[in-house]
């Protein structure tokens, strides 16, 4: 019996990070409860979005380094959040596609390693199929265009075989100046690349979102369908995030001071 479609939603405005993180955790709780009562009713969800400018620290960060780094990065006009995902400091913001697949891996019996592999292979396929960009093989997690150019990052968290966090892929050049403020993902000498910068073409985050969602779902043996009111608990969470994005107002489109 085929698995039901993954329910997708593409957000209209850049989202503040903390409410989005809290909402992921709320979805996790809903998925866990529904799995305990009726596995066929467990909704798998994929959110496709841009964030307001924010730096996030992962579990591998040294506690003694966090305070100084937080103060400095907040001073350039971005938010700063410590998270439970893998990896080190990275940036999210406008011009970057962030994808949060909120999935129950138990439905397909996929391991965490297989899931991360599918994320990376989907990123590679997207870049090569739609933009003719071949990845550079690297020992590090994520997707590189050369030894010192990283175009996409992966950072996930799995509890009870339910996934949160996901991937980020630079679409326009806008994220580059923000990445220049940090040693992104702890990799000295590595700079952020983007589809726009690598191809010289105008690109749309919304268009890239739809393309990537289709590729990832296909790799996981799934189809996608738009999230709607037929799943009211999750739909209301999405609508509240849309409202918070509007209420948050404008954001800085470049760092207010340079490193």
pLDDT digits (tens, 9 = 90+) for 89-98: 889 999 999 9
72 is known to lie in a ligand binding site? no
Which of 54, 78, 145, 185 is catalytic? The answer is 185
Paired tokens of 1: 């019996």
86 is known to lie in a ligand binding site? yes
Q: How far apart are CA 100 and CA 96, in angstroms?
A: 13
Place of tokens 């969470």: 237
Model confidence over 163-185: pLDDT tens digits?
999 999 999 999 999 998 887 65
Q: How far apart are CA 52 and CA 143, in angstroms?
A: 23
User: Is the confidence at residue 79, as pLDDT, over 70?
Assistant: yes
Model confidence over 14-46: pLDDT tens digits?
999 999 999 999 999 999 988 888 766 678 999
Q: What fold, for 6-247?
A: BirA Bifunctional Protein; domain 2 (3.30.930)
Pairing of strands 54-57, 6-10: unpaired
| SS3 label, residue 213 | helix
CB 170 within 8 A of CB 185: no
Count of H helices and E strands in the chain? Answer: 7, 11
Q: Is 185 a catalytic residue?
A: yes
pTM for the predicted model, two decimal places:
0.93
**Strand (E) or helix (H) holding 119:** helix 112-131
88 is known to lie in a ligand binding site? yes
User: Is the confidence at residue 255, as pLDDT, over 70?
Assistant: yes
């Amino acid at each position: 019996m085929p698995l039901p479609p993954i329910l997708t939603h593409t957000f209209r405005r850049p989202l503040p990070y903390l409410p989005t993180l809290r909402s992921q955790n709320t979805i996790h709780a809903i998925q866990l409860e529904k799995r305990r009562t009726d596995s066929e009713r467990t909704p798998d969800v994929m959110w496709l979005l841009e964030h307001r400018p924010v730096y996030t620290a992962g579990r591998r960060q040294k506690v003694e380094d966090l305070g100084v780094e937080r103060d400095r990065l907040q001073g350039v006009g971005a938010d700063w959040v410590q998270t439970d995902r893998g990896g080190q400091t990275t940036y999210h913001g406008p011009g970057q596609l962030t994808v949060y697949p909120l999935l129950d891996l138990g439905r397909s019996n996929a391991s965490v390693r297989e899931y991360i592999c599918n994320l990376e292979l989907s990123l590679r396929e997207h870049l090569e199929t739609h933009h003719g960009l071949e990845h550079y093989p690297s020992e590090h997690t994520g997707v590189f265009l050369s030894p010192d150019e990283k175009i996409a990052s992966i950072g996930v968290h799995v509890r009870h075989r339910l996934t949160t966090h996901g991937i980020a892929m630079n679409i326009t050049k806008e994220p580059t100046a923000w990445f220049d403020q940090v040693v992104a993902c702890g990799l000295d000498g590595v700079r952020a690349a983007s589809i726009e910068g690598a191809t010289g073409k105008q690109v749309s985050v919304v268009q890239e979102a739809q393309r990537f969602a289709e590729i990832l779902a296909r790799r996981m043996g799934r189809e996608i369908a738009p999230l709607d009111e037929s799943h009211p608990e999750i739909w209301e969470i999405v609508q509240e995030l849309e409202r918070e994005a509007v209420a948050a107002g404008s954001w800085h489109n470049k760092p207010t001071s340079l490193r």
